[in-house]
Chains A and B, each alone.
Chain A
Amino acid sequence: IALNQSGRAANMDMNAMLQGVSEGERQKLMVMLEEMQMKEQVTMYNSLVERCFANCVTQFRQKSLDEKEDKCVKRCTMKFIKASARAGQTFQQIGMQLPGQAPAGGGQPGQ
């Protein structure tokens, strides 16, 4: 989610950076970027699972998750998604305040 936001911001800068670059080369770059994004999503998902597992699952008396662990994993996932969205939001706001950046369109202060 946050990834797509920052991806879009990057796209805006790239049009300026890629002035004069051939269409074929641009196409190749876009394909590469999309592959990178796909990979990034997978890594994010896998490291989330690892992190939640590490924090929530501490005993192995049974072979499946008990109620406490189940809730913990779900809460962990929710929190991560929210944290990710918020971090992305803040990051984008800061990016818009930097000198020389074209504003993406009115950011609301104090959000």
Chain B
Amino acid sequence: FPIPCIAMSDQQQRVAAAKNEIGAFSDMYNRMLKQCFEKCVEHFHESELSLGENTCLDRCVGKYVESQQKVGEQMAKVTAQMSQI
């Protein structure tokens, strides 16, 4: 997200942005994992994942990534509108 960065030099900004991106990815991944595990895996009668659980996990990951994109699009749309007020 574009935030006005005044204190950092161009170089520093790029380094910070790269750090941020890696952190952001890692954070997103962990949250997705947590959500999908909670929603798809409910019993612990056995240690192997069932076919249903595997399918659920696949679909859950797909849906999570899609949700991420939609939220991003919405936010971009709204912040663009708000900055025009």
Residues of A within 8 A of B (CB): 1, 4, 27, 30-31, 33-35, 37-39, 41-43, 45-50, 52-54, 56-58, 60-65, 69-70, 73-74, 76-78, 81
Contacts and interface: CB of A to CB of B under 8 A. Distances in A.
Contacts of B68: 49
Given A46-B27, A49-B28, A63-B58, A57 B63 contact: yes
Interface residues of B, number: 40
Interface of B: 1, 3, 5-8, 12, 16-17, 19-20, 23-24, 27-28, 31-32, 34-35, 39-40, 55-56, 58-60, 62-64, 66-68, 70-72, 74-75, 78-79, 82
A82 to B, nearest CB: 9
Contacts, number: 109
A60 B74 contact: no
Describe B's contact surface by its main secondary structure. helix
- Nearest 6 A/B pairs, CB to CB: A30-B7, A77-B74, A60-B59, A42-B24, A63-B59, A50-B31
Describe A's contact surface by its main secondary structure. helix
Contacts of A52: 67, 71
B56 A60 contact: yes
